[in-house]
Structure 1
Amino acid sequence: MLVELGARSYEIIIRPGALVGLGAALAGLNPGRRALIVSDTHVAPLWAEKVRENLATAGFNPALVTLPAGEEAKSLGWLAHLYSAAVSAGLERSSPVLALGGGVVGDAAGFLAATYLRGVPFIQVPTTLLAQVDSAVGGKVAVNLPQGKNLVGAFYQPRLVLVDPEVLTTLPEDQFCTALGEVVKYGAILDAAFFAHLEEHLPALLARDPAELSTVIERCLTLKAQVVEEDERETGRRALLNFGHTLGHVLEAASGFTLPHGAAVARGIAVEAELARRLGLLSSEEVQRLQELIGRAGLSTALSPALSWEEARPLLYRDKKVRDGRLIFALPQGLGRGRVVPVPEGAVEQLWRDLV
């Protein structure tokens, strides 16, 4: 699969067992020989040595830096640690940075790659379902500030994305299930047939059936690639991919970022679907189908943590889609289609007060 962005186009390799070909695939891009692998304390013990040996066999001189697992790794303090690791590894402008992990590792490593020496090659090797179906593709990289999530970031496309579904065998059950919110998002906002497929084949997906996993990953990334090709910098259609994220980010922040991103998005999808119904964009039956699918995936649809509207309101207005003081939501207009629409604050407040 190719993400076509002119001179910045890149390949997405999706194949069980693809990890063993990482060194050869990277060598085909003709980067510098020094490389930095960025991973975390959960993933590094499982996969880092295998990746390092694979790269060394292909002629690279890889160093490894390990971040703490979790959202805390996307801080300015840990970013400074990554810069120090890049200096210690002797990275040059042609030296690749590889993100070996989930969305947090991809964000932090990507921001390092985007800014170190004004930009070095970036390679995504996602090891979580959430990263494999969503965050590894598209070039969004960022770190957090105490005031909010992803407030310091860039658009910086990878040179290669290598997706090996077999690495998901080591993914804990809770992390696997929380990613399904992002999977449901693609069907709800972009592809009605895919949504129906998920309704029918969810048991096989939950069982991590290899064929079903590959089907779902490939469909999600095909949809993501199409949107990125059309609107790389999120000035239009790409904002549709924020369905569930407007309220989801509020819940993440309210939890002190202890609520996993995928779980927050799933709750955001369920609540924003009800907002779409109140605005006349979704039927009650469609809302029920969406919420039932999320529930069958083992995810909560509740608006929690339960914070007051007065607490939630300032968090809502930190959303990057806010324009001229107006709240903007990406909402489905019938399952499989979406719109980016301004929503009166009063409508969101009423929804919030009704559900909390």
Structure 2
Amino acid sequence: MTEQSAAPADEQTPTRIQVGGTAGTDPYEVLVGRSLLGELAGLIGADAKRVAVIHPEALAETGEAIRADLADQGYEAVAIQVPNAEEAKTAEVAAYCWKALGTSGFTRSDVVVGVGGGATTDLAGFVAATWLRGVRWIAVPTTVLGMVDAAVGGKTGINTAEGKNLVGAFHPPAGVLCDLGALDSLGVHDYVSGLAEVIKAGFIADPEILALIEADPEAARSPQGPHTAELLERSIRVKADVVSSDLKESGLREILNYGHTLAHAIEKNERYKWRHGAAVSVGMVFAAELGRLAGRLDDATADRHRSVLESVGLPLTYRGDQWPKLLETMKVDKKSRGDLLRFIVLNGLGRPTVLEGPDPAVLLAAYGEVSA
């Protein structure tokens, strides 16, 4: 992949990034800017009569404000409150949402709006994908993670006792509104967690992301930083470029899972109490070590993972005694094929590839480099 170019959004004019349209899918736009909720009704359209605003408990006021605004514009709008974070991504919560849609008389011309972080948009998209075999939905992500990862690409899903995102559907949104103003009130730990996905985009496709962060790591930790818009836009463009070519993860799209195989195992092991970005950070350090030990990745790029991630305050290690449990969980990862473990590693900066069936001793050695 080639290095991406991006012009940062300003206060008045949002940046519009197109996703899809090249692999037999309908294109949609990701808008990045400020004060974007005025764009929502236009994305919903005139054909919809009813709108369901799915939001987490933590964003009750925001969800109600959006519902009231849509009601003022003539829609039959209902707010559906769900639990915060990963607790929302269960079959029981999805069933609760389906019941609310049924009670509201939702038809195929109506629209679901998901407001919140990545877990909420994952759930909202899944509910939309499964109601009447698919209704339109719009993502309004409110976190860095939601903006650069979860809300783009159409991968929706819920968790089960066996693992993360094992039940889901590919169901692209009709549009995504990334209002940077939502990040201003985000806690520093949640904001920094989202940076793991930004840094991932830098390593797999756009090294300029890494250079911007390395130039001023402290500024990168804040939504008020001078490069916030550019960092998010570059990351979104990386994902948009990939998913436009491979909607259903049949090949190229797997590179977006860099660091995620171990990360998902850590999240399950911690019962989803760890932030996703923290787990991805450890997962990327592991993937870098795996690439190095497999003779794929040079020392300088492997070491750069640690320096960049540590500079913004992301973790580099996990518990050493948990390797047997993590290994068993990784065997049911979505990228696995039968009993064959598959990992995304780097052949060099911006050169992701698949490593199939690595030697168990190499896996253990790589984990030894990230175990606390």
In 2: Cα distance, 1:354 partner to 1:296 partner? 18
Q: What secondary structure sits across from 1:281 in the alignment?
A: coil
Of the three residues 248, 273, 281, the one matched with 2:288 is 273
Q: Contact 2:48 / 2:109 at 8 angstroms: preserved in 1?
A: yes
Q: 1:355 to 1:181 in 2, by over 3 A?
A: closer
In 1: Cα distance, 2:290 partner to 2:269 partner? 20
Moved more, 345-354 or 56-65: 345-354
Of the three residues 332, 342, 345, the one matched with 2:356 is 342
For residue 309 of structure 1, what is the aligned residue in structure 2?
323
Q: Contact 2:184 / 2:224 at 8 angstroms: preserved in 1?
A: no
Identity of aligned residues (%): 35
Of the three residues 95, 112, 115, the one matched with 1:100 is 115
Of the three residues 85, 97, 101, the one matched with 1:86 is 101
- Displacement of 1:355 in angstroms is 4.4
For residue 261 of structure 1, what is the aligned residue in structure 2?
276
Alignment of 1:1-356 (within 5 A): 1-5=17-21, 6-27=24-45, 30-45=46-61, 47-209=62-224, 211-302=226-317, 304-346=318-360, 347-353=362-368, 355-356=370-371
Q: What secondary structure sits across from 1:138 in the alignment?
A: coil
1:233-278 deviation line (CA, Å, top 9, x unaligned): 1111110010010111111111111111111001101121111111
Q: Contact 1:33 / 1:61 at 8 angstroms: preserved in 2?
A: yes
Q: What secondary structure sits across from 2:74 in the alignment?
A: coil
Q: Contact 2:123 / 2:158 at 8 angstroms: preserved in 1?
A: yes
In the superposition, the TM-score normalised over structure 1's length comes to 0.94
Q: What secondary structure sits across from 1:198 in the alignment?
A: helix
- Displacement of 1:70 in angstroms is 2.1
- Displacement of 1:25 in angstroms is 3.7
Q: Contact 2:123 / 2:157 at 8 angstroms: preserved in 1?
A: yes
Moved more, 326-335 or 160-169: 326-335
Q: What secondary structure sits across from 1:137 in the alignment?
A: coil
Q: 1:88 to 1:155 in 2, by over 3 A?
A: same
Q: What secondary structure sits across from 2:135 in the alignment?
A: coil
For structure 2, the 5+ residue unaligned runs are: 1-16
For structure 1, the 5+ residue unaligned runs are: none
Q: What secondary structure sits across from 1:142 in the alignment?
A: strand
Moved more, 193-202 or 261-270: 193-202
**Matched positions, count:** 352
Moved more, 335-344 or 75-84: 335-344
Letter in 1 for 2:325: E
